[in-house]
């Protein structure tokens, strides 16, 4: 594929195909667990096309229509990964009926209602405190350099599936005054750095300097890019610290994005909003 065609396909596809590794179908195992019943009877069968239709509609609802997730749901990729998983059950066989591919020994049950209703504040606060207190936590994130039409540079991606309203990571840094943040911004710009200042406006206006972190610690939250149309994170303040919450069910390989000018419960904004909308 020529580089011209690859660029014309836009940000989402370039993100999904950022590596040469096989891209995992989003939530495929969860869909199988919830929608397939293994009957062990050869007379029970499901057309593969019906499986794909069920899977695609379920993923769209489960991910709240996330464009990055839906672009991973290709028919060819689904059938390849479904076959390798479902045939591990020795009672399931693959055959054809009137020219249509079917799987015998399994039936498809109807999907249930999917809800991603936002929990109450105290529930989120308890989850955030538990996350921050766990000093040995392993973040489900990786940072990769991506070259696309946004010229985004370093981007943050998920390495595993997470549920809606789970805590993803912390926006680390020191809480400082607005006056001090302006002085530091000038220093960073003279050093050729793009300032990472997260403004938190609650009862008073405070700023978190994303560069002011302990030695050897990378503020991954400071690398999360801006989007106005495909946001999947929301900022949440707990005491003097701020964490990112997933606003929908997210699958492995999705880039994390939030709106630099909209934070939800309190008014958050980034003073270094330099990226274009994707």
The pTM of the full predicted model, rounded to 2 decimals, is 0.78
Domain boundary assignment for the chain:
3-108, 121-270
Report yes or no: 199 and 180 within 8 Å, Cβ to Cβ: no
Token pair recorded at residue 138: 């392993």
Tell me, what's the pLDDT at 27?
93
pLDDT at 274: 42
Tally of CA atoms within 13 A in the half-sphere of 119 that contains its CB = 17
Q: Cα dist. 173→120, 143, 170, 176, 247 in Å? A: 27, 18, 9, 9, 23
- Looking from the CA of 121 toward its CB, the CA atoms found within 13 Å total 6
Nearest to 254 by CA among 170, 162, 190, 124: 162
pLDDT at position 39, please?
A: 92
The DSSP call for residue 44 is -
Name every residue whose Cβ is closer than 8 Å to that of residue 109 and which is 6 or more positions away in sequence.
Answer: 35, 36, 37
- How many contiguous H segments (helices) and E segments (strands) does the chain have? 8, 16
pLDDT at 145: 86
- Residue 97, beta-bridge partner list: 100
What is the helix, strand, coil percentage profile of the chain, to 5? 30, 25, 45
Query: Could you tell me the maximum CA-CA distance found in the chain, to the nearest angstrom?
Result: 74
Q: Which fold has domain 121-270?
A: Beta-clip-like (2.170.270)
Determine the pLDDT at residue 265: 52
In 3D space, the residue among 209, 183, 181 whose CA is nearest the CA of residue 196 turns out to be 209
DSSP run (H or E) holding 126: helix 121-133
Yes or no: say if 141 and 156 are a contact pair by the CB < 8 Å rule. Answer: yes
- Tens of pLDDT, residue by residue, the chain (278 residues): 444 444 444 555 554 554 445 678 999 999 999 999 999 898 999 999 999 999 999 999 999 989 889 988 999 999 999 999 999 988 999 999 888 899 999 999 865 567 678 899 999 999 999 999 998 889 999 998 877 666 677 889 999 999 999 999 999 999 999 899 999 989 988 988 888 888 888 778 889 999 998 888 888 999 998 888 889 999 999 988 999 999 999 999 999 999 887 555 556 677 654 433 33
Pairing of strands 267-270, 174-176: unpaired
Q: List residues bridging with 237 in a β-sheet.
A: 242
Q: Distance (Å, rounded) from C-alpha 233 to C-alpha 257?
A: 6
Say how far apart CA 234 and CA 212 lie, in whole Å: 22
Tell me which DSSP letter residue 167 carries.
E
Task: State residue 237 phi and psi, 5-degree precision.
Answer: -95, 135
DSSP code of residue 20: S
**Comparing C-alpha atoms, which of 219, 225, 243, 235 is closest to residue 155?**
225
Q: What is the 3-state secondary structure (H, E, C) of 36-65?
A: EEECCCCCCEEEHHHHHHHHHHHHHHHCCC
User: In which element (H, E) is residue 131 found?
Assistant: helix 121-133
């Amino acid at each position: 594929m020529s580089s011209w065609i690859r660029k014309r396909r836009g940000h989402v596809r370039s993100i999904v195909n950022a590596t040469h590794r096989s891209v995992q179908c989003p939530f495929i195992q969860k869909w199988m667990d919830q929608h397939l019943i293994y009957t062990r009877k050869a007379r029970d069968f499901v057309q593969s096309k019906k499986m794909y239709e069920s899977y695609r509609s379920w993923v769209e609802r489960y991910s709240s229509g996330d464009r990055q997730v839906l672009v991973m749901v290709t028919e060819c990729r689904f059938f390849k990964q479904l076959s390798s998983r479902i045939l591990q059950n020795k009672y399931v066989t693959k055959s054809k009926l009137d020219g249509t591919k079917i799987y015998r020994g399994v039936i498809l049950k109807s999907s249930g209602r999917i809800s991603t209703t936002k929990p109450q504040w105290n529930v989120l606060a308890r989850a955030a405190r538990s996350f921050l207190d766990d000093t040995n936590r392993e973040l489900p994130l990786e940072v990769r350099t991506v070259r696309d039409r946004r010229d985004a540079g370093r981007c943050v991606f998920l390495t595993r599936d997470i549920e809606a309203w789970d805590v993803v990571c912390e926006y680390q840094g020191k809480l400082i005054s607005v006056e001090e943040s302006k002085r530091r911004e000038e220093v960073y710009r003279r050093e050729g750095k793009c300032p990472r200042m997260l403004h938190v406006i609650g009862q008073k206006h405070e700023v978190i300097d994303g560069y002011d972190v302990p030695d050897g610690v990378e503020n991954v939250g400071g690398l999360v890019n801006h989007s106005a149309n495909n946001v999947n994170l929301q900022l949440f303040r707990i005491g003097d610290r701020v964490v990112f919450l997933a606003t929908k069910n997210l699958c492995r390989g999705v880039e994390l994005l939030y709106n630099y000018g909209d934070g939800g419960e309190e008014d958050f904004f980034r003073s270094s909003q330099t990226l274009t909308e994707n």
